[in-house]
Chains A and B, each alone.
Chain A
Amino acid sequence: MLTFILKRLGFALITLICVLTLVFLVVRILPGDPALVILGDQASPDSVAALRDRLGLNDPILVQYASFLGRALQGDLGNSMVTGRPVTSEILNVLPYTLELTFAALVLGTVLGVPAGVWAAVRRNRIPDYLMRLVSLIGLSLPAFVAAIILMMVFAIHFGWFPVISAGNAETLTERLRQMALPTLALALIMMAYITRVTRSAMLEVLSQDFVRTARAKGVSPSRVVWTHALGNCLIPITTVVGLYLGILIGNSVLTEIVFSRPGLGKLILTALTQRDYTLLQGMIVVYTLMVVVVNLATDLTYGLLDPRIQYK
C-alpha cells in the first residue's frame, strides 16, 4: 500500500515536472518581453533593463529553469507580473470558492445520478429508462454555460428565487447557500448525466450475473438485491467516472463563475490571460495539474476501500 502511494506520488511528481517544464518553455517562447509587459510600452530602456535583471531574465536559460523549478516545487510560484503579489496567495484566495462549488456539484450530481441510474437499469427498456437516457443525453450535451444561463433565466430572473450574482460576499449561511444553489445545480446537472449513464450500464451488467440470481432465489428482498448486492458492485466504475469528471468539473467551473460573477480559479485565469500575467498563468496551470493529479490518486485509493480484493502493488 505504502509503496503504491509512493510510486504514484513519484509519477505525479514526474507529471508535475513535465508540466512545469512545458509551461516554462511556452512562456519563454512567446513573443514579447515580460519586463516590457509589466512596465508597459512607455517604459524607458533603463528601467526595462533593470527589471529584466531583477526578474533574472538575463541569466542563462538553464539557470532560470533550475531556479524556477526549485522555487515552484517549494510552493513559491513567483509574484504576479501585474499586481506584484505572490501568485500562491492570489490563488489560495480564490481556491476555496472553486473547491466549494466543485464539491457541492459533485455531491449533488452523485446523489441525483446514482438513484436515477439504478432506477433506469431496474426499469430497463420501459418508460423510466427511456426518460433517464434522454435526460442524461441532454445533460451531457449541454455546455456548462448554457445550463447556467437557462437556470439563471428561470430561477433567478423569472421566479426571482435566487440571486443573479453569486459574488461570494454573503454574510449569513442561508445567503451563501442561496448564492451557491444555481451555479452548483448547473454543474451538478452535467455531472448527474455522466453518473446516471455509467450507473445504468454498470447495474445492467451486474444484474445479469449469477450471484444476483442466487440472491433473488434464496429470497433476498428485491430492494436489497438492487441497492446492496448489485449497487455495491457498481461502485468501482462509478468512482472512475466521478474521478474523471471531477477534473472536467474543475475546468467547467470557469463558465459558471463567469455567468454568476463568482470569484474562483476560472475568473482568475481569465484575468491572467487578458492581462498577459504570465507568472500568474503558469502558477495556475501548476495548480490545475496538481488538482487533477490529487484527484487521480484519491480515485485510485478509493478503489481499495470499495473492493478489498484490490491489492496495491
Chain B
Amino acid sequence: MTDMAHPPAAPAKRRARLGLLRRLNLSTWIGLVIVVALVLAAIFAPWLTEYSPSKQNILHQLSPPGDGHLLGTDQYGRDIWARLLYGARYSLTIGILAIVAAMIVGTFLGMIAGFLGGRTDIVLMQVMDVILAFPALILGLALVALIGATMGNIIIAIAFTATPAFARIARAGVMTQRDREYAQACRALGFSGPRILFRHIMPAILPEVMVMSSLWMATAVRTEASLAFIGLGLAPPTPTWGGMVREGYDNILSSFHLALAPSIAILLLVLAFNLIGDGLRDVVDPRLKDAS
C-alpha cells in the first residue's frame, strides 16, 4: 500500500477506467441510456418539435393526442410534446446541478469533519443533523417560498436539503480510511494533512459518493417536480414537468392525458437515476449486490 505515494502510470489508469465501463451492469446501462436520451431530447428540443412550448393557440385547446399534436394540447392550446421536451431542460439542469453542488459541499464538509475529528466534527455534524431533522420536501418548500422561486434558488434549496447526506457518507468513509496502513504511511512520509486527505483518502471514498449522488439526483428531480406541482417551482409559462402535472390535475375531469404525459416523464427520469445508482452500487461494492 505504500506505493500509493507514487501515482500509478497513466495507461494503467486508463485501463482501469475501461474496466469499470465493462463492469457496468444492465441496470446502469438502461438508466444511462434513458438519461442520455432525455439530455439529447432536451438539447435538440427545437429540432424534435415544430411547436413552441409557450405559444398559446385558442383554436386548439385541450385537443386529444394525434391530430397534428403528438400528445395533444393543454388548456391554452400549447403543444404538450413541445412542453415536455423543453421541460426536460429544467428538470435535468436543476436535478443535476443541485446534487453536484450538494456533493461538492457535503463531501468536503464531511471529509473535514471525519479527518479532523474533535470539536470540528461535533459542530459540523450537529449542524448537519439539524438540517436532517426535517422532512426534506418541507425544508425545500419553505426555503424556496422564502427566497423566491428562481432557477438558482431552487437549485440552492434542493442542494441544501441534500448536503447533510453527503457529509455523513463522506465522514464515515474518511473515518474508516483515516487509520489504514497507507494513510499512516503517508503520515510517516511527512505528507501534509490536506495532501493525505484529498490525494490519498478521497479516491477511496469517491465511488460511494458517486453512487449516492446518482440516487440523490433521483430525489432532486422528484423534489423539483413536487415543488412545481405545489406551485413553488419556476413560474409559468416555463414548461416544468411538475407544473404541467398541476395544470393537468386542474383539468383532470375533462382530459386526463394532460397530467399523464408529464407524470410518465418524471417517473422515467427518476427511475433512470435510481437504476444508475443501484447498478453502480453493485459495481462499487459487490458485497451489496443483492441489496438492490
**Which residues does A use to contact B, with CB under 8 Å?**
14-15, 18-19, 22, 26, 30, 124, 133, 137-138, 140-146, 149-150, 152-153, 157, 197, 200-201, 204-205, 247-248, 250-252, 254-255, 258-259, 269-270, 273-274, 281, 285, 288-289, 292-293, 296
Query: Quick one: CB contact mask for B119-162 with A, threshold 8 Å, 1 for yes?
Result: 00000001101100111111001100110000000000000000
Query: Quick one: CB contact mask for B262-288 with A, threshold 8 Å, 1 for yes?
Result: 010011001100110010000000001
Give Cα A152 to B222, complex, Å: 19
> Is the C-beta of B249 less than 8 angstroms from some C-beta in chain A?
yes
Find chain A residues with CB under 8 A from B230 CB.
254-255, 258, 270
Contact among B138, B249, B288, B291 with A269 in the assembled complex (CB-CB below 8 Å): B138
Find chain A residues with CB under 8 A from B260 CB.
150, 153
Give Cα A124 to B126, complex, Å: 40
Give Cα A26 to B166, complex, Å: 24
Chain A residue at smallest Cβ distance from B274: A141
Contact among A137, A145, A197, A247 with B135 in the assembled complex (CB-CB below 8 Å): A247
Find chain B residues with CB under 8 A from A281 CB.
142
Find chain A residues with CB under 8 A from B50 CB.
none
Most buried by A among B133, B136, B245, B275: B133
Would A201 and B137 count as touching, CB distance under 8 A? no
Contact among A251, A259, A293 with B137 in the assembled complex (CB-CB below 8 Å): A251
Would A18 and B291 count as touching, CB distance under 8 A? no
Contact among A138, A204, A258 with B290 in the assembled complex (CB-CB below 8 Å): A204
Give Cα A150 to B242, complex, Å: 14
Would B267 and A146 count as touching, CB distance under 8 A? yes
> Is the C-beta of B226 less than 8 angstroms from some C-beta in chain A?
yes
Would A248 and B136 count as touching, CB distance under 8 A? yes
Would B218 and A141 count as touching, CB distance under 8 A? yes
Indicate the size class of the contact surface on chain B: 35 or more
Query: Quick one: CB contact mask for B221-249 with A, threshold 8 Å, 1 for yes?
Result: 01001100110100000000010010011
Would A144 and B278 count as touching, CB distance under 8 A? no
Would B252 and A137 count as touching, CB distance under 8 A? no
Provided the pairs A204-B290, A251-B136, A289-B134 are in contact, do residues A149 and B142 lie with their beta carbons within 8 angstroms?
no
Known interface pairs A19-B130, A141-B218, A273-B145; 9 further A-B residue pairs with C-beta atoms within 8 A, sorted by A's residue number: A18-B127, A124-B290, A143-B225, A143-B242, A143-B270, A144-B226, A146-B225, A197-B292, A248-B136
Would B226 and A15 count as touching, CB distance under 8 A? no
Provided the pairs A149-B252, A292-B133 are in contact, do residues A141 and B138 lie with their beta carbons within 8 angstroms?
no
Find chain B residues with CB under 8 A from A289 CB.
133-134
Find chain A residues with CB under 8 A from B129 CB.
15
Chain B residue at smallest Cβ distance from A30: B146
Taking the closest CB of chain B, its distance from the CB of A304, in whole angstroms, is 21
Find chain B residues with CB under 8 A from A274 CB.
145
**Which residues does B use to contact A, with CB under 8 Å?**
126-127, 129-130, 133-138, 141-142, 145-146, 218, 222, 225-226, 229-230, 232, 242, 245, 248-249, 252-253, 256, 259-260, 263, 266-267, 270-271, 274-275, 278, 288, 290-292
Contact among B127, B137, B259, B288 with A149 in the assembled complex (CB-CB below 8 Å): B259
Could you write out 20 A-B pairs with CB less than 8 Å apart?
A: A19-B130, A124-B290, A138-B267, A138-B271, A141-B222, A143-B222, A143-B242, A145-B245, A153-B252, A157-B256, A197-B291, A204-B290, A250-B135, A254-B137, A273-B142, A273-B232, A274-B145, A288-B134, A288-B135, A289-B133
Taking the closest CB of chain B, its distance from the CB of A47, in whole angstroms, is 26
Give Cα A124 to B266, complex, Å: 30
Would A149 and B130 count as touching, CB distance under 8 A? no
Find chain A residues with CB under 8 A from B274 CB.
137, 140-141
The 10 closest A-B pairs by CB, nearest first: A251-B135, A201-B291, A251-B137, A273-B145, A141-B270, A141-B271, A146-B263, A18-B130, A204-B290, A143-B222
Chain B residue at smallest Cβ distance from A251: B135
Contact among B130, B137, B248, B290 with A22 in the assembled complex (CB-CB below 8 Å): B130
Find chain A residues with CB under 8 A from B278 CB.
137
Would B271 and A252 count as touching, CB distance under 8 A? no
Find chain A residues with CB under 8 A from B292 CB.
133, 197, 201
Chain B residue at smallest Cβ distance from A134: B271
Give Cα A284 to B34, complex, Å: 39
Would A143 and B266 count as touching, CB distance under 8 A? yes
Chain B residue at smallest Cβ distance from A140: B274
Would A141 and B141 count as touching, CB distance under 8 A? no
Find chain B residues with CB under 8 A from A152 CB.
252
Contact among A204, A205, A269, A296 with B141 in the assembled complex (CB-CB below 8 Å): A269
Chain B residue at smallest Cβ distance from A142: B267
Taking the closest CB of chain B, its distance from the CB of A159, in whole angstroms, is 13
Would A269 and B142 count as touching, CB distance under 8 A? yes
Would A259 and B267 count as touching, CB distance under 8 A? no
Most buried by A among B130, B138, B145: B138
Would B141 and A273 count as touching, CB distance under 8 A? yes
Would A149 and B271 count as touching, CB distance under 8 A? no
Most buried by B among A149, A254, A292: A149
Find chain B residues with CB under 8 A from A150 CB.
260, 263
